[in-house]
Chains A and B, each alone.
Chain A
Amino acid sequence: MSERAPIAAQVPVSAPLRPRRWMPALAAELSLGQYARFLMRRLAALTAVLLAAIWALGGQGYFWPAWAWLGLIVPVLLDFTASWAWRHPPGAVRRVACVWALVSVAATILIMTWLLTRLLAGVSEFWPTWALLGLATAGSGYSLIALHDRVLVARGRRALRARIDLLTRTRRQAVDAQAAELRRIERDLHDGAQARLVALTLQLGRAEMRVDGQPEVRRLIHNAQREAHHAIAELRDLARGIVPPLLADRGLVAAVQSLAGRYGLGIAIEADIDRSLSPAVERAAYFVIAEAITNTAKHAGAHHSWVCLSHDGRALLVLVGDDGCGGADPSGAGLAGLRARVEALDGSLTVASPGGGGTVVEVSIPCA
């Protein structure tokens, strides 16, 4: 039951009942309910004193007003416990609190009755044992049943949170590992298969030089070399599609500058990045910028375009903008693909492209 404390704290608690006068008139600062409760307590106290006075004046003897006091204290107790129970949030917890309020009132009545029988009638046996046990069992049973779901939900929520943490972490690890792996594949293609093919063409070239006057053999060697050249060119294109070599060798800013240079658009590039970025982040940012620049060149008809790269300590921020015709469809296949790429890194991509008002693609990718 301790875990509901912070929730209970959020529930507004009625203003404490502290009237200045002993018996105030019904005033604006007290609601009808509060006034009734206040009146009840005062009347109960008054009646208790009155009965004691009647007993004292009526010759004393058996102290009967104690039983009346017991009767008077019941509504006061009920009021106290009910207001305590009502502080709990509605639902299972409040129902359990109400049950325990009733149980505690019943238990108090039992114990006080036993006390009075002991004091006034000299009964020494503690007779309410079984009744109290019954009350406690009933209260506990009800609590177990009512709160069972709640405990399960809380446990489920904790498990869910742990699962989300785990998935977030492992997804990032997977994306990073994938980027590192792609970079390794690109290097392997260049330094492995491609280099061997280059060595092969070199051997073929040396062989060709030694062949004298056999045009058929020379032609075969020449054809073999041409095939090797095709294979090398294909490997190079493959490697470039995986990771542009300049991105792998020099990082994002150099790769974006080279990219912009390939378009004769005069793209202004502003870069303020003071740290090295992870391969996954660099790759995602690069392909977003490449796609955005391509779209600008193809569709925007812009006079000016710009790329802005910065890092605010928590995330890489990329802005690609132009002053073209706007009207890009943010849900189009190209932009949706870019968004998926960025979201895989917990980043966000927004596109502002009002008709006639240019286009700005804004990307934020969290990275320390």
Chain B
Amino acid sequence: MRVVIAEDLALLREGVVALLRENEIEVVAQVEDGPGLLRAIAGHQPDLAIVDVRLPPTFSDEGLRAAIEARRRQPALGVLVLSQYVETAYASELIGDNTAGIGYLLKERVGDVRAFLDALRRVADGGTVLDRQVVTQLLAPREGASDALTSLTAREREVLELMAEGRSNAAIAENLVVTAGAVEKHITNIFAKLDLGACEDDHRRVLAVLAYLRVARSAPS
């Protein structure tokens, strides 16, 4: 796997580069700003770009805009966006019409090394990985929210968050320290409560969840 990193903080960038090299992932370019990212992608044709949302010179959403532009130019490119905070508006902009090969994670997820590397590989392979906080934010208690969302139990919400991260049933079971059978039961309940057709494929599951949440978010009950 060939990776380009766009991150302006040297400390963090070097840490991620060291982590990737330790795990035999090739870092073909390290850049510090949006235009640099676009040049590096055009020059190196990587499989994956890891992009910080805030980059110089504006330090606003420069990285996000560069990532969206990079995907417009190369739809097959996997993009993993890292951010200090989760903003659902950014998630939906990033996903746009092309859901394949998208990741949106909080920066601190890099500390959970195995999960982070797993997320990298899934995004590079065309999967979708969303931070569990995206789900948390979408599910935040709010006036007028549909009964279906509030009817989820705490454990079901946890499962839903992990599903949004694109995890398999086995991974979810391991994470929550329960049996795979229990996870399956939770998922069946979630899909029933959210009125979604059950499906096995991890990627499609994420999208189904997202689609539901997006609809629930935009339409007043």
Contacts and interface: CB of A to CB of B under 8 A. Distances in A.
B212 interface: no
A246 B89 CA distance: 9
Nearest to A303: B220
A195 B12 contact: yes
B217 A198 contact: no
Given A190-B54, A202-B111, A264 B61 contact: no
Interface residues of B, number: 38
B87 interface: yes
A191 interface: yes
B85 to A, nearest CB: 5
Nearest to A299: B143
Contacts of A246: 87, 89
Nearest to B82: A198
A169 interface: no
B18 A206 contact: yes
B113 A297 contact: no
Interface string B130-170: 00000001001011111000000000000000000000000
A77 interface: no
Nearest to B146: A264
A206 B21 CA distance: 12
Contacts of B22: 206, 209
B88 interface: yes
B179 interface: no
Given A196-B11, A202-B12, A240-B85, A263 B142 contact: yes
A249 B220 CA distance: 27
Given A198-B111, A203-B15, A250-B61, A258 B85 contact: no
A229 B22 CA distance: 23
Interface string B13-55: 0011011001000000000000000000000000000000010
Contacts of B111: 198, 200-202, 204-205, 225, 228-229
Nearest to B53: A249
Contacts of B84: 190-191, 194-195, 236, 239, 245
Contacts of A262: 137, 140, 142
A167 interface: no
Among B110, B140, B146, B216, max chain A CB count under 10 A is at B110
Contacts of B89: 246, 254, 257-258, 261
Contact of A245 (B9, B11, B87): B87
B177 interface: no
Contact of B143 (A225, A245, A254, A265): A265
A199 to B, nearest CB: 5
A175 interface: no
Among B16, B61, B111, B219, max chain A CB count under 10 A is at B111
Contact of B54 (A191, A202, A240): A191
Nearest to A249: B60
Contacts of A225: 111-112
Contact of B110 (A205, A208, A257): A205
A304 to B, nearest CB: 9
A232 interface: yes
Interface string A262-287: 11111000000000000000000000
Contact of B107 (A195, A205, A263): A195
Interface string A224-238: 010011001000100
Contacts of A194: 84, 107
A287 B159 CA distance: 34
B143 A250 contact: no
Contacts of A264: 142-146, 216-217, 220-221
A325 interface: no
A137 to B, nearest CB: 75
Contacts of A245: 84-85, 87
Interface in A172-211: 187, 190-191, 194-206, 208-209
Nearest to B84: A190
Nearest to B7: A195
B16 to A, nearest CB: 7
Nearest to B90: A246
Nearest to A194: B84
A314 interface: no
A18 interface: no
Interface of B: 9, 11-12, 15-16, 18-19, 22, 54, 59-61, 84-85, 87-89, 107-108, 110-114, 116, 137, 140, 142-146, 216-221
Interface of A: 187, 190-191, 194-206, 208-209, 225, 228-229, 232, 236, 239-240, 245-246, 248-250, 254, 257-258, 261-266, 297-298
19 contacts: A191-B59, A194-B107, A196-B11, A204-B111, A205-B112, A208-B113, A225-B112, A232-B108, A236-B84, A245-B87, A248-B60, A258-B88, A261-B218, A262-B140, A262-B142, A263-B142, A263-B144, A264-B143, A264-B221
The 9 closest A-B pairs by CB, nearest first: A201-B111, A266-B220, A297-B143, A205-B113, A249-B60, A264-B144, A190-B84, A202-B15, A264-B145
Given A201-B108, A245-B87, 14 more contacts: A190-B54, A195-B11, A195-B84, A200-B111, A201-B110, A202-B111, A209-B113, A228-B108, A239-B85, A250-B60, A262-B140, A262-B142, A264-B146, A297-B142
